[in-house]
Amino acid sequence: MALFEPAEDQITADTIVVGGGIAGMTTAIETAEIGKDVILIEKTPSLGGRVAAMHQYFPKMCPPTCGIEINYKRIRPNPHIRVLTLTEIESVSGEPGAFEVTLKLSPRFVNEKCTACGDCEKVCEIERDNDFNYDLDKTKAIYLPHLMAYPMRHVIDPAYVGDERMKKCVDACQYGAIELDMQPRTITAKVGAIVWATGWRPYDAAKIDNLGFGQIKNVITNVIMERLSAVTGPTQGKILRPSDQKEPTRIGFVQCAGSRDENHLPYCSTICCMASMKQATYIREQYPDAEIYLFYIDVRTPGRWEDYYVTKQNDEKFHFYRGKVAKITEGTDGNVILEAENTLTGQITKTEVDLAILATGMVPNNVEAPPPLETVLDDFGFIAPDGDKGIVGAGVANRPLDVSASIQDATGAALRAINIAGRR
């Protein structure tokens, strides 16, 4: 069944999974593959979550297509999974084993006849900021969420649906797929358990006053770096510095940007050291002679990741600098100056680079949109084990995790939810 556009106003399942990132997809698949019915809801127009926006992911350095497509292949034919995109939970009542969940379905304005041919996009005259590329470029008002979208179907930005110019898109669609008068809907789902896999957002780097993000053009964040390196990104994968599209020859990674800091995120997001070293690999592939600096408090590459760290230590143009960057200022010609105290030598230094990348941490989406009922959150907004309340966390909703740990966590969440649902 997979993609689901319910005709009825009430649906049932053993488990509802909230969030269609790698964790939510995994929980849904693991639940459905043993024959339990699951509803997977995602608030954006496509499954994939943050992983879809990576250029490559460690440790294998494969593009996200490999992992995500495997999940789609398992979701598509499975009669026990029903996927609802553009859907959010409005309210929840009941108890473990018997919840009633009200779901709000927002309109896509494009129906299942869409073949993603793109004829509508070609004639569309309206542009909007491309949030998938962190607003560094534009999409049309009718657009494909990303190249690995599921469903592979266009969507219209609701801000423009009433614009007269959208009628051109309707006329250009030979399949009759565009419905500008689609309306929101509310339906209810009766389920035994709820899995909360709503993931994370990047910490807002503009809040870190001393690091210049938002004021100095050539200071970017690690999530932006993923898009700058991706062929579907704003520079078609060529790493260029934003102010003048120059090829950078000196790049500085600023670890713990806002992390392990009582004024921002007191915790370690666990993946940032690996993410920066991964991104250094993107740089090395394009610029074999670039000088790369990594400013750190301590490098955290536990377990099998240590090998990865060692390969960077063996790169003579990769300079590890033990010291937290205290201040970033703008130099001449768009350059960026990183001021730090070397904690090994006690020296205060200024390092001039073309581009600085802030390794910002992960903030759980629970902070802004907490799970319903009395789910317990810890001091940072991650889901604390909730005893017996029936809402099970999965992936980064629980704690900062990489992809493979998110998958393991989500598999455990599937089992726990089956157990809770079985109480009916």
Ligand X SMILES: Cc1cc2nc3c(=O)[nH]c(=O)nc-3n(C[C@H](O)[C@H](O)[C@H](O)COP(=O)(O)OP(=O)(O)OC[C@H]3O[C@@H](n4cnc5c(N)ncnc54)[C@H](O)[C@@H]3O)c2cc1C
Angle between helices 22-32 and 403-421 (to 10 degrees): 40
Q: Is 406 in the site for ligand X (CB under 6 A)?
A: yes
Task: Quote the CA–CA distance of 374 and 9 in Å, as a whole number.
Answer: 26
CB 27 within 8 A of CB 254: no
Strand runs labelled E in 239-354: 250-257, 291-296, 318-322, 325-330, 336-341, 348-353
Q: Is 45 in the site for ligand X (CB under 6 A)?
A: no
- Residue (13 or 401) nearer to ligand X, CB: 401
Least separation in angstroms between residue 419's CB and ligand X is: 21
Q: Is 39 in the site for ligand X (CB under 6 A)?
A: no
Task: Quote the CA–CA distance of 241 and 228 in Å, as a whole number.
Answer: 9
Of the candidates 277, 371, 423, 381, the one whose C-alpha atom is nearest the C-alpha of residue 88 is 371
Task: Quote the CA–CA distance of 385 and 100 in Å, as a whole number.
Answer: 22
Touching ligand X, residues 381-400 (CB under 6 A): 395-396
- Residue (141 or 275) nearer to ligand X, CB: 275
Binder among 74, 278, 300, 416 for ligand X (CB under 6 A): 278
Q: Is 267 helix (H, G, I), strand (E, B) or coil?
A: coil
Token couple for 176? 């009759």
Q: Is 134 in the site for ligand X (CB under 6 A)?
A: no
Q: H or E segment at 28?
A: helix 22-32
Least separation in angstroms between residue 42's CB and ligand X is: 5
- Residue (139 or 229) nearer to ligand X, CB: 229
With left for phi above 0 and alpha for psi between -120 and 50, is residue 387 left, alpha or beta? left
Looking at residue 157, its amino acid is D
Binder among 218, 255, 259, 365 for ligand X (CB under 6 A): 365
Piece of the chain touching ligand X by CB under 6 A; list 15-23, 65-73, 150-158, 332-340: 15-23
Least separation in angstroms between residue 277's CB and ligand X is: 10
Of the candidates 122, 123, 112, 232, the one whose C-alpha atom is nearest the C-alpha of residue 177 is 112
Least separation in angstroms between residue 332's CB and ligand X is: 29
Piece of the chain touching ligand X by CB under 6 A; list 108-116, 121-129, 149-157, 218-226: 218-226
Q: Is 146 in the site for ligand X (CB under 6 A)?
A: no
CB 283 within 8 A of CB 220: no
Binder among 369, 373, 377, 415 for ligand X (CB under 6 A): 369
Residue 281 φ then ψ, to 5°:
-65, -40
Q: Is 127 in the site for ligand X (CB under 6 A)?
A: no
Touching ligand X, residues 185-214 (CB under 6 A): 197-200
Least separation in angstroms between residue 376's CB and ligand X is: 18
Angle between helices 306-313 and 272-286 (to 10 degrees): 40
Q: Is 130 in the site for ligand X (CB under 6 A)?
A: no
- Residue (231 or 348) nearer to ligand X, CB: 231
Touching ligand X, residues 55-74 (CB under 6 A): 57-58
| CA-to-CA separations, 2 to 144, 168, 248, in angstroms, rounded | 19, 32, 45
Q: Is 23 in the site for ligand X (CB under 6 A)?
A: yes
- Residue (133 or 335) nearer to ligand X, CB: 133
- Residue (67 or 173) nearer to ligand X, CB: 67
Task: Quote the CA–CA distance of 312 and 296 in Å, as a whole number.
Answer: 14
- Residue (160 or 253) nearer to ligand X, CB: 253
Least separation in angstroms between residue 402's CB and ligand X is: 3
- Residue (226 or 386) nearer to ligand X, CB: 226
Task: Quote the CA–CA distance of 186 and 208 in Å, as a whole number.
Answer: 40
Q: How many residues contact ligand X, by CB under 6 A?
A: 38
Q: Is 401 in the site for ligand X (CB under 6 A)?
A: yes
Binding site for ligand X (CB under 6 A): 18-24, 41-44, 49-51, 54, 57-58, 88, 197-200, 222-223, 226, 271, 275, 278, 362, 365, 369, 395-396, 401-404, 406
